[in-house]
A and B are shown apart, each in its own frame.
Chain A
Amino acid sequence: MKMTGAEILWECVSREGVTHVFGYPGGAILPAYDALGKFPAIHHTLVRHEQGATHMADGYARASGRVGVAVATSGPGATNMVTGIATAMMDSSPIVCITGQVGSRLIGSDAFQEIDITGITLPITKHNYLVTRADEVAGVVREAFMIARSGRPGPVLIDITKDAQQSSCEFTWETTETPSHPARPDRRAAPAEYLRALELINSAQRPLILAGHGILLSGSLAQVRELAEKANIPVAMTLLGIGAFPASHPLNLGMMGMHGEAWVNTAIQEADLLIALGMRFDDRVTGNLKTYAPNAKKIHVEIDPAEVNKNVPVDVSLIGDLRAVLQDLLPGVAAGEPREWLAHIAALKGEVAVRDIQNLPDNGHLYAAHVISDLWRETGGKSVVVSDVGQHQMWEAQYYKHEEPHTLITSGGLGTMGFALPAAIGAKFARPDEEVWVVVGDGGFQMTMCELATVAQEGLDLKVAIINNGYLGMVRQWQEFFYDRRYHATPLVNPDFEKLAQAFGLHAVTVRSRSEVIPAVQAARAHRGTAVINFCVEQEDSVFPMVPAGAALDQMIRRPNPLVEASTEP
């Protein structure tokens, strides 16, 4: 059947199972938009900025496990996508970005809205394509989706010239072949490596599992849990690993790294075996590499061979799909009971824990940690929470206890402020029946708050908690600790977020005291439609504990605030 490139594009996209795309039209992508009308099964969400489209695709992908799709025009439309693509790349999120390009004869002439987007996105995509002919479209789309979701997932960009969209060619899906690419060398570990790993696991006295994002991506939650329970190994999580192991599980320690709890980081430093599962020893997780886990043997299970021995030299590397590797490993794991080790960690925990933040006095202040904790309690820890980047993100990670997988969506690797609101829109489309909360700072919110218009236009039901401290809080905290409290360029003069949200036709309320928190959360949950809560919290509060950048993992700045002191009193 003869079809235009634009029609082939949507036919192939819909054959890939895509039901939602997020985009913004423009000259060079207009033929594709015109053809989209013939595909009613694909719901298009008109965003307010192309960065939002990429974050929505990303949030959709993380919430659903399917590939997210974002669409933009050439030139500025395409360049606006760069931050979102890089965010997806750093967090291994499968998205396909489709951009229009000027006509193929104009390429290289600095035509209106022409930009070399394949050149620009080369280092931040798994792969990208410039399509100049209609007959290339089908093969490229099929391959792009495969690449995005296979192996270590990531973003793929398809740049399609206007003439490739407009011209026609013969097309049948059944006969479309993806271009074949050469096989990769088989790097799966030899049986001897498995035996070495088992020897280390079965002989360890102080073992620790480091649970990363790869567990969620590979769907190996059951295997990880079996490993932990069989050998009684405590589990520490990376930021993106949160949800990979139930928060309430007795073996769960919580988050590791720069703002991880002290007992977690101390346990890592004292462990004699680290079993790293689908994580990449990011600098925010390791602190100073020279002093990192000095007594520990390290086993690294990782799908991407390029991550092995990148930051931390390991003793055994098991390259491959985490689930497959664990399935092979589990039968050899001996039942273990490192009683002393577990008791030791429990004692560490007892020393420094903010045992139950709910019960700590607030002395009339509204602390962000209390807001998050109340939100967790009210929602039963079952909501999908999409957090932005900064202090509130760390408080969320510390005080919102995620029981279920894929319930925390956040920008970890790139740390993209402005991620939360658009990503939550994508997440809501992916899981319409679940409650989706946005936890966002006043700084990050203002980076992409234009997407409130998208929320309103789509009639979505999101709950937005703005943690408003009138500062770029995390930067302010660094200025406080490391720059002698010189608060340059961090105080924010904010709009009235309540009125702002109301201007978009959304339910909104401002909360200034602890007693108003739970009623506001309850009202927001009861409201059918999007509700925005502006939590005006303590302005100069800091996230503790904190490992200063470049310091050893156990050199933490502890909580000095009266919260902890009060908690340790009898």
Chain B
Amino acid sequence: MLNTFVVYVENKPGVLNRVASLFRRRNFNIESLTVGHTENTGISRMTIVTDTDDAGAFRVEANLYKLLNVISVENITAAPSVCRELAMIKVAATAESRTQLMQLAGVFRARVVDVAPTAIVIEITGTEDKIDGLLDVLRHYGILEMVRTGRVAMSRGANGNGATLAAAAAAGAAADSGAPLLDTDDGMIAFSV
């Protein structure tokens, strides 16, 4: 079952590598991974889709939290959420087929963003299903090139770690709830959850 995680991470060199390496090491295949800035400088947001069961999803989350640079992890698979993907598709076009292609794009609420003598570029935003649907009808015309961003997702409503983080950032500190990550006891091995 596809699980979607929204992961906030510190925007530092090597963090993407740490996250990706964790999935590889723990034998979870990443279906898609997107990274981008957030409204808070210093914090990046990842949407990661991986195929695993509930126990696996819990382990992904628990392992992600073992990375120091991970700020928060939300598994939004079961939560009400909006998932989107963006694709650009370059399709072979002739004078005759161009009109048909533009009509098809219209049906899918996609946009034609470039027109050349022998090709057009269509941009579409939507769920993976919708993009797959458009691809199905375009294939017949000859797809020359395609790029998909992978899934980005956000939970619906006012909840979500993003809101917490924004509030924390306003207060000048990262989210400060739950148990401390680090125990500062000196000497003997110290413990925290």
**Known contacts A123-B25, A150-B183, A306-B59: does B65 contact A184 (CB below 8 Å)?**
yes
B72:A66 contact, CB within 8 angstroms: no
Query: For A525, what are the chain B residues with a Cβ–Cβ distance below 8 Å?
Result: none
Is B14 close to A, CB under 8 A?
yes
Task: Give chain A interface residues in 403-417, CB to chain B under 8 Å.
Answer: none
Candidate in A151, A188, A305 with the most chain B CB atoms within 10 angstroms: A151
A126-B22 Cα distance, complex, nearest whole Å: 12
Cβ contacts under 8 Å, B17 to chain A:
119, 122
CB distance A122 to B173 under 8 Å?
Answer: no
A183-B176, A184-B65 known; A118-B14 Cβ under 8 A: yes
Shortest CB-to-CB span from A215 to chain B, Å, is 12
In the bound complex, residues from chain A placing their C-beta under 8 Å from that of B68 are 126-127, 147, 181
Is A303 at the interface (CB under 8 A from chain B)?
Answer: yes
In Å, the complex CA distance between A178 and B182 comes to 11
* Separation of A94 and B190 alpha carbons in the complex (Å): 11
Candidate in A147, A151, A182, A184 with the most chain B CB atoms within 10 angstroms: A182
> In the complex, which residues of chain A have a beta carbon less than 8 angstroms from the beta carbon of B189?
65-66, 94, 149, 153, 217-219
Q: Does B159 contact A (CB under 8 A)?
A: no
- Tell me, in angstroms, the Cα distance from A320 to B21 when the chains sit together: 26
Dominant SS among interface residues on chain A: loop
Give the residues from 297 to 336 in chain A that come closer than 8 angstroms, CB to CB, to chain B.
303-306, 308-310, 313, 319-321, 323-324
Inside 8 A of A94's CB, which chain B residues have their CB?
A: 189
- If A17-B186, A127-B68 touch, does A183 touch B181 (CB 8 Å cutoff)? yes
Which of the residues B18, B71, B178, B192 comes within 8 Å of A150, measured between beta carbons? B192
Q: Is B1 an interface residue (CB 8 A)?
A: no
The complex places the Cα of A320 from the Cα of B68 at a distance, in Å, of: 18
Among residues 325 to 370 in chain A, which have CB atoms less than 8 Å away from a CB atom of chain B? none
- B residues near A126, Cβ cutoff 8 Å: 66, 68
Whether, in the assembled complex, A185 has its beta carbon less than 8 Å from a beta carbon of chain B, the answer is: yes
A177 to chain B, nearest CB (A): 12
Given the contacts A122-B17, A181-B68, A218 and B182 also touching, CB distance less than 8 Å: no
Question: Does the CB pair B187–A66 fall under 8 Å?
Answer: yes
Whether A184 and B181, one on each chain, are in contact in the complex, defined by CB atoms closer than 8 angstroms, is yes
Residue ID in chain A nearest B58 by CB atoms: A309
A313 close to B186 (CB less than 8 A)? no
Complex Cα gap A180–B187 (Å):
21
Q: Give chain A nearest CB distance to B170 CB in angstroms.
A: 15
A146 contact set on B, CB distance < 8 A: 182-184
Closest CB of chain A to B144's CB: distance in Å?
36
B12-46 CB mask vs A (1 if < 8 Å, else 0) is: 00100110011001000000000000000000000
B193 close to A150 (CB less than 8 A): no
CB atoms of B175 and A149 under 8 A apart: no
What is the CA–CA distance of A217 and B193 in the complex, to the nearest angstrom? Answer: 14
* B14 with A149: CB separation less than 8 A: no
Q: Is B117 engaged at the interface, CB distance under 8 Å to the other chain?
A: no
Q: Which residues of A contact B180 (CB under 8 A)?
A: 183-184
Closest chain A CB from B107 CB (angstroms): 45
CA distance A306 to B58 in the complex (A): 8
B115: A residues at CB distance < 8 A: none
Q: Give Cα A153–Cα B190 distance, bound, in whole angstroms.
A: 9
The CA-CA distance from A178 to B21 in the complex, in Å, is 26
CB distance from B13 to the nearest CB of A (A): 8
CB B69 to nearest CB in A, in angstroms, measures 8
Contact B173 A180 (CB under 8 A): yes
Most chain A CB inside 10 Å of its own CB: which residue of B175, B185, B193 = B193
Bound CA span A404–B70, Å: 39
Is residue A174 within 8 Å, beta carbon to beta carbon, of the partner chain?
Answer: no
Q: Is the CB of B181 within 8 A of A181?
A: yes
Alpha-carbon separation in the docked complex, A323 to B180 (Å): 17
**Cα A94 to Cα B25 with chains together (Å):** 21
Nearest-neighbour CB distance to chain B for A526, whole angstroms, equals 34
Q: Which of B154-175 contact A (CB under 8 A)?
A: 173-175
**Separation of A130 and B178 alpha carbons in the complex (Å):** 29
Binding site for B on A (CB under 8 A): 16-17, 65-66, 94, 118-119, 122-123, 126-127, 130, 143, 146-147, 149-151, 153, 178, 180-188, 217-219, 303-306, 308-310, 313, 319-321, 323-324
A-B contact pairs, 21 of them (CB 8 A): A65-B189, A143-B182, A146-B184, A147-B68, A149-B183, A149-B185, A150-B191, A180-B173, A181-B69, A181-B174, A182-B175, A183-B176, A183-B179, A184-B65, A185-B177, A186-B177, A187-B193, A188-B193, A303-B191, A304-B66, A310-B59
Given A17-B187, A183-B175, A183-B181, 15 new contacts (CB under 8 A): A122-B18, A126-B68, A149-B185, A151-B193, A178-B182, A181-B68, A181-B69, A181-B174, A183-B180, A184-B65, A188-B193, A306-B59, A309-B58, A319-B193, A324-B191
